[in-house]
Amino acid sequence: MPVSNPMTLTTPSDREIVLTRVFDAPREQVFRAFVDPALVAQWWGPRGFTTIVDKLEAKPGGAWRYIVRGSNGKEDAFRGVFREVTPPERLVFTFEWEGLPGHVLVETITLEERDGKTTVTDTSLFHTPEERDGMLQSGMEGGASESWDKLAELLAQQG
Amino acid sequence: MPVSNPMTLTTPSDREIVLTRVFDAPREQVFRAFVDPALVAQWWGPRGFTTIVDKLEAKPGGAWRYIVRGSNGKEDAFRGVFREVTPPERLVFTFEWEGLPGHVLVETITLEERDGKTTVTDTSLFHTPEERDGMLQSGMEGGASESWDKLAELLAQQG
C-alpha cells in the first residue's frame, strides 16, 4: 500500500533535526496519542519492537520513560522531563537514551490542524552538532518513519 | 584579607560561561574536593547556605544531587549525571536546577597543575543563548565566586 503522507526529515541548522508528517485525524486525537500511556505503547518505536511505557506524566516537570524491547529480548530505555504541555498544540520535553547518559536533547512537537488533518512537526535541538550527527547516523530516520506509520494506523483504527 | 587568586568569568560564545581560578594545592587534592561527598558538602554553594550531598556517584552514568538550604530554611536542589570522570584532570556532567526541570547544561571541569598550584577551568555549555543569559542574570557569578573561595579555604585547611 503506498504511503500517502510520508514523513519528511530536514536539518535547518547543525544542531537540529525536524520531522514532519500530516496525519488524517483531528489534532485533539493526535495529541492524545502522545500523552496517553496506553496509546503511546501501541505506536512508539520501530516495527517489531514492544514498547513499555514505564512513566508518562504529561505535565510540566513530569517524567517520561519508555522501554523498547526487540524480538531478541534486548532492551533500550529512553527518558526525559516535560517542559511544556499545551493541549492540543504543543509539547516540549527532554530526550535521553539511557545507553548514553547525560546526552540530552530537547524535542518540541507542534500540532496544526487544517480540514480535519493534523500536521505534526517534531523539532529536536541537540546540545552539539556531534550529538545531532550521531543521532542521524543511528538509523533514527527509518525508526521514526516506522513509528509514525504505526501512529497513522492507530489513528485510522480509532476512526 | 585580599583575595590573591580571584575567579574570572568569560563568555567565549553565546552559549557558554567559563569560570577559571588558580588554587594553591596539587590537582589530586583539588580533584578530590569535587568528587568526595564529605568535601563537596563543605564548599559547594554560596556563603551562608548549608549543602546536603544527596547523591554523588562520580563515575560515567552516575548521578549527583545537591540540596542547598538557606538560613530561612528555603531549599533548592540541583542534579545531573556524570558523562566523564578522569582523575585528576577532567569531569564532565550535566547540571539541572530542579526549579526549572528539563533545562540542562553540560559542565566540563579541567584541572591543570603547575608548580604545585592548580588551575581549574569550569566551562558550562547551555542548550540555548537564552538559558545562558538566564544563568548570568541569576546572580550565579557572585555565588560561584563565594563557593570557590570556600573551596580555597578548605584546601588551605587540609594543608
Distance in Å, alpha carbon of B36 to nearest chain A alpha carbon: 20
In this complex, which of A80, A102, A125 lies closest to B94 when CB atoms are compared? A102
Q: Hey, which residues does A105 pair with through a beta bridge?
A: A95
In this complex, which of B81, B125, B127 lies closest to A101 when CB atoms are compared? B81
Among A92, A98, A104, most B C-beta atoms within 10 A, so best to mutate, is: A104
Structure confidence at residue A2 (pLDDT): 47
φ/ψ of residue B24, rounded to 5: -85, 65
Residue with cell 525536524: A18
Residue in chain A lying closest to B79 (CA): A102
Q: Which helix (H) or strand (E) holds B24?
A: none
Q: Which helix (H) or strand (E) holds B33?
A: helix B27-35
Grid cell locating B121:
577551568
Chain B hits for A103, Cβ within 8 Å: 83
Average pLDDT of the residues in B9-23: 97
In this complex, which of B60, B61, B102 lies closest to A83 when CB atoms are compared? B102
Chain A hits for B102, Cβ within 8 Å: 61, 80-83, 92-94, 106
Q: Cis link prior to B26 (omega < 30° from 0)?
A: no
- pLDDT confidence tier of residue B28, bands split at 50, 70 and 90: very high
CB contact under 8 A, B101 and A80: no
In this complex, which of B83, B93, B127 lies closest to A106 when CB atoms are compared? B127
A95, A80 contact by CB (below 8 A): yes
On the question of pLDDT at A126 being above 60, the answer is yes
Q: What is the pTM of this model?
A: 0.92
What totals of helices (H) and strands (E) does chain B contain, helices first? 4, 8
Structure confidence at residue B4 (pLDDT): 62
Helix (H, G, I), strand (E, B) or coil at B144: helix
Distance in Å, alpha carbon of B79 to nearest chain A alpha carbon: 11
Percentage of chain A modeled with pLDDT above 90: 95
Residue with cell 559542565: B107
Grid cell locating B36:
568526595
| Mean pLDDT across chain A | 95
- pLDDT confidence tier of residue A55, bands split at 50, 70 and 90: very high
Structure confidence at residue A4 (pLDDT): 62
| Mean pLDDT across chain B | 95
On the question of pLDDT at A5 being above 90, the answer is no
Structure confidence at residue A154 (pLDDT): 97
On the question of pLDDT at A28 being above 50, the answer is yes
Chain B hits for A102, Cβ within 8 Å: 61, 80-83, 92-94, 106
On the question of pLDDT at A135 being above 90, the answer is yes
CB under 8 Å to B109, separation ≥6 — which residues?
B34, B90, B91, B92, B120, B121, B122, B123
Tell me how many residue pairs between chain A and chain B have CB atoms under 8 A apart. 41
